[in-house]
Structure 1
Amino acid sequence: MGFIKREAKKFDYKPRYYKGEGNPYEFKHKFDKFRTTVGKRKGIKGKFNAAIEEFKNSENGGFNKTIIITIVVLVLIFFYIIDFDFSIFIPNND
């Protein structure tokens, strides 16, 4: 039934003999402390904007020459395979 929205029940279970900090049954991803896209519930636009901001604020400024060159080469190979005619972009002076 799509019109009834139910959330999973959350229980605050604490083991009887555990003397450590926090909940030992709490699951966290390995890289959550480094990500900005994980956490609060956001719509698709919020997730996309957060991912773009995280990409821009990465170590190398979000630009990786190797990936760009690889994509360009693969696109050119694809154009060669489908026999794409690039002469449509050159103006004809007849």
Structure 2
Amino acid sequence: MGFLSRRKNKRFDYTPRFYKGEGNPFEIKHKFDEHRTTVGENPGLKGKFNNALNELKSNPDREANRRILLIVAILVFLFFLLIGFDLSIFFPN
């Protein structure tokens, strides 16, 4: 045991008892990651926004998208009414 040398970590060849598949059994992965385009690498703010828009456009359930946009528009309108925003700028005289 020398003072100048560092101790090496021990390596174990451990396989879990009920592991039957391939890959790393300790990897935590969401079950829908294969179907999403927004998970994975970190492309930056513009890349994330573009990926989210592409995923929204490729969504086959257009009715749900319209419903969400309608709910958001109603909530924004109620917020404007609550803070006393002058809504007359949106309507012609």
Q: Same fold, TM exceeding 0.5?
A: yes
2:21 pairs with 1:21? yes
Any runs of at least 4 consecutive aligned residues in structure 1 with deviations exceeding 4 A, and if so which?
none
Residue by residue, what CA displacement relative to the aligned partner does 1:15-66 show, whole Å, maximum 9, x if unpaired? 3465622221121112101111122342222222111111111122486232
Q: Which residue of 2 aligns with 1:84?
A: 85
Given the superposition, is the C-alpha separation of residues 45 and 61 from structure 1 closer, same or farther in structure 2, using an over 3 Å criterion? same
Q: Cα RMSD between the aligned structures?
A: 2.7
After TM superposition, the structure 1 stretch with the greater mean CA deviation from structure 2, 15-24 or 26-35, is 15-24
- When the two structures are aligned, how many residues end up with a matched partner? 79
Partner amino acid, structure 1, of 2:75:
L
2:58 pairs with 1:43? no
In 2, the alpha carbon distance for the partners of 1:17 and 1:86 equals 64
Residue by residue, what CA displacement relative to the aligned partner does 1:57-82 show, whole Å, maximum 9, x if unpaired? 11224862321221222122222222
The TM-score normalised by the length of structure 2 is 0.62
In 1, the alpha carbon distance for the partners of 2:26 and 2:33 equals 16
The TM-score normalised by the length of structure 1 is 0.61
Identity of matched residues, %? 43
Given the superposition, is the C-alpha separation of residues 26 and 62 from structure 1 closer, same or farther in structure 2, using an over 3 Å criterion? farther
Partner amino acid, structure 2, of 1:34:
H
The gaps in structure 2 that reach 5 residues or longer are: 1-11
8 Å Cα contact 1:56/1:62 also seen in 2: no
Q: Which residue of 1 aligns with 2:55?
A: 54
